[in-house]
Amino acid sequence: MKERNLTNELSAALDTLSKAVISQPLEKSSDAKLSVRPLLHKGRRIFQVEAQRGAQAFHQNLEGEALLRLCESEWDGRYRQALIVTEEASAQYSLRQNGLYKKSGGAAVPRPAAAQGHNREKQYLLREGEAIPALVDLGVFTADYQIVKARYDKYRQINRFVELIDQAFAGSEEKTITILDFGCGKSYLTFILYYYFAVKRSMDVKIIGYDLKADVVEHCNAIAEKYGYTGLRFVHADVSKDVLYGERVDMVVTLHACDTATDYALHYAIQKGAKHIFSVPCCQHEINGSMHRGGELDVFLRHGIIRERMAALLTDAIRALVLEDRGYAVDMIEFTDFDNTPKNLMIRARRTGKTGTAGRAEARALADRYGFTQTLLRLEAED
Ligand SMILES: C[S@@+](CC[C@H](N)C(=O)[O-])C[C@H]1O[C@@H](n2cnc3c(N)ncnc32)[C@H](O)[C@@H]1O
């Protein structure tokens, strides 16, 4: 079996490192155990080293190069055991007489039963085991970066959301981005988006999450500060009436922002000329509450459940008409399976600048005939 130098092994694992543990020193005077984990600091990936000395633990944060130098000078050949876990694999190293290490394992990182289930073969863009400490604070990951069972559905939604964004950015050379998240709530998506752009794409990213709940906003700001996510902040605001960010905006996202909060987000994106919109609506009550009989659609109004579903679909169809008329190419995507969430329709829109499709006139004719109000149509009434 090939024998290895620990520093080279750590170096090869560095880009996807989840954790490393170096233990059983040859000399009594050495630290008893060293644990390494990646951290995001001011938008950059660094490594925290925890050294166990007696009953005490000492911490230092290092850049990748400095970590490798420390490994080469202090650890390599001086500890009997090492464990290196990356996003893909976990390997154990045992020191040999000649000062090199024998590797065992290299197996794929195991997933717990909860993460297997329905999507056994699925490879997520953001994998379980990936060291995203903010998600531990948010209650999505356990302390060893496994998905909390009760959050698994949300995790799948968010992964899919980010996958769709990843597709939109394939081949993109953009280096900076500003994103607004309307109705961010507990902000799992917002934090993961920040991680995706700052760490995975190494972009200079600014994200603002808006929500009505002051306590949630405060909690999210505290977590962002704790992990040095300097480009991420949360603002207590009512998006239907408060003044929002006034500079350039590249992307607007919503995930289950309630009822007309989605309309205010789409309106804002149109007004700012945002290039990308990714919006998963929910609770589309407005048309259902205001629609009366008026023509062929009456057949959908006889039974409450059909009326409700039709009104929700009509709401999103009108949103697409308005967006197209205002210069966007729109796709409607079933962004995750129905059993994951029934609120699974995503409006994905990309700015083309080609306005004037007469979509608003078409929607207005329907609104006049059936007497309903629709907030985006109202907000985008004027050119
Ligand atoms: C169902 S939660 C979704 C939260 C989050 N996006 C997610 O998917 O986990 C909807 C959030 O929208 C917020 N919201 C609703 N109307 C709003 C408004 N007018 N302005 C700001 N936030 C609003 C609510 O406070 C709530 O936190």
**Which domain CATH number covers 334?**
3.40.50.150
State whether the beta carbon of 281 lies less than 6 angstroms from ligand 1: no
State whether the beta carbon of 213 lies less than 6 angstroms from ligand 1: yes
CA of 262 to the centre of ligand 1 (A): 9
Pull the structure tokens for residue 332.
């409607």
Amino acid, res. 51: A
Query: Is 127 among the domain residues?
Result: no
- Per the structure, the complete domain to which residue 37 belongs is given by 3-108
CA of 209 to the centre of ligand 1 (A): 10
CA of 237 to the centre of ligand 1 (A): 10
State whether the beta carbon of 258 lies less than 6 angstroms from ligand 1: yes
Please state the atom number of ligand 1 nearest to the C-alpha of residue 282.
Answer: 1
Q: Which of 108, 132, 163 is the last residue of a domain?
A: 108
State whether the beta carbon of 186 lies less than 6 angstroms from ligand 1: yes
What CA–CA distance (Å, rounded) separates 32 from 263?
Answer: 58
**For the purposes of burial, counting CB atoms within 10 Å of the CB of 26, is it exposed (0-12), middle (13-18) or buried (19 or more)?**
exposed
- Total of domains in the chain: 2
State the DSSP H helix or E strand holding residue 25, giving kind and residue range, or none if neither.
Answer: strand 17-25
Same domain, 59 and 182: no
Same domain, 251 and 363: yes
- Bridge partners of 353, per DSSP, are none
Query: Is 132 among the domain residues?
Result: no
Q: Which of 108, 125, 140 is the last residue of a domain?
A: 108
For residue 115, what pLDDT is reported? 35
CA of 238 to the centre of ligand 1 (A): 10
What CA–CA distance (Å, rounded) separates 262 from 245?
Answer: 17
CA of 53 to the centre of ligand 1 (A): 46
State whether the beta carbon of 219 lies less than 6 angstroms from ligand 1: no
Query: Is 175 among the domain residues?
Result: yes
CA of 257 to the centre of ligand 1 (A): 4
Q: Where are the alpha helices (DSSP H) in the chain?
A: 6-13, 64-70, 113-116, 133-137, 152-168, 188-195, 214-226, 261-272, 286-290, 304-325, 359-370, 375-379
Same domain, 315 and 373: yes
For residue 120, what pLDDT is reported? 36
Please state the atom number of ligand 1 nearest to the C-alpha of residue 188.
Answer: 9
Count other C-beta atoms under 10 Å from residue 60's C-beta: 12
State whether the beta carbon of 136 lies less than 6 angstroms from ligand 1: no
For residue 89, what pLDDT is reported? 80
Nearest to 244 by CA among 279, 216, 209: 209
Question: DSSP letters along 126-176, please?
Answer: S-TT---HHHHHTTSB-TTSPBPGGGHHHHHHHHHHHHHHHHHTTT----E
CA of 182 to the centre of ligand 1 (A): 7
Query: Is 130 among the domain residues?
Result: no
Query: Is 142 among the domain residues?
Result: no
Same domain, 103 and 181: no
Same domain, 156 and 97: no
CA of 51 to the centre of ligand 1 (A): 42
Please state the atom number of ligand 1 nearest to the C-alpha of residue 157.
Answer: 8
Q: Quick check: 182 and 254 in contact, CB under 8 A? A: yes
Same domain, 104 and 165: no
Listed in sequence order, the residues at least 6 apart from 295 whose beta carbon sits closer than 8 Å to its beta carbon are 369, 370
Per-residue pLDDT of the chain (383 residues; tens, 9 = 90+): 678 899 999 999 998 888 899 999 999 999 999 999 888 776 678 888 999 988 888 889 899 999 999 999 999 999 999 999 887 788 889 999 999 999 887 666 544 433 333 333 355 788 888 888 889 999 998 888 888 988 888 888 999 999 999 999 988 889 999 999 999 999 999 999 999 999 888 899 999 999 999 999 999 999 999 988 999 999 999 999 999 999 999 999 999 999 999 999 999 999 999 999 999 999 999 999 999 999 999 999 999 999 999 999 999 999 999 999 999 999 999 988 887 788 999 999 999 999 999 999 999 999 999 999 999 999 999 76
Same domain, 295 and 175: yes
State the DSSP H helix or E strand holding residue 85, giving kind and residue range, or none if neither.
Answer: strand 79-86
For residue 17, what pLDDT is reported? 87
State whether the beta carbon of 240 lies less than 6 angstroms from ligand 1: yes
State whether the beta carbon of 366 lies less than 6 angstroms from ligand 1: no
Place of tokens 């907030």: 375
Query: Is 341 among the domain residues?
Result: yes
Listed in sequence order, the residues at least 6 apart from 150 whose beta carbon sits closer than 8 Å to its beta carbon are none
Amino acid, res. 273: G
State whether the beta carbon of 242 lies less than 6 angstroms from ligand 1: no
Residue nearest (by alpha carbon) to ligand 1 atom 11: 183
State whether the beta carbon of 217 lies less than 6 angstroms from ligand 1: no
Same domain, 173 and 311: yes
CA of 259 to the centre of ligand 1 (A): 9
Nearest to 261 by CA among 242, 275, 245: 242
Same domain, 104 and 195: no
Query: Is 164 among the domain residues?
Result: yes
What CA–CA distance (Å, rounded) separates 52 from 99?
Answer: 23
CA of 167 to the centre of ligand 1 (A): 26
Same domain, 39 and 185: no
Same domain, 274 and 352: yes
CA of 239 to the centre of ligand 1 (A): 10
Q: Which of 108, 138, 171 is the last residue of a domain?
A: 108
**pTM of this structure:** 0.73
Place of tokens 């630290």: 31
Same domain, 62 and 157: no
Q: What is the dihedral of CA 41, 46, 52, 57, to 10 degrees?
A: -10
State whether the beta carbon of 372 lies less than 6 angstroms from ligand 1: no
Query: Is 123 among the domain residues?
Result: no
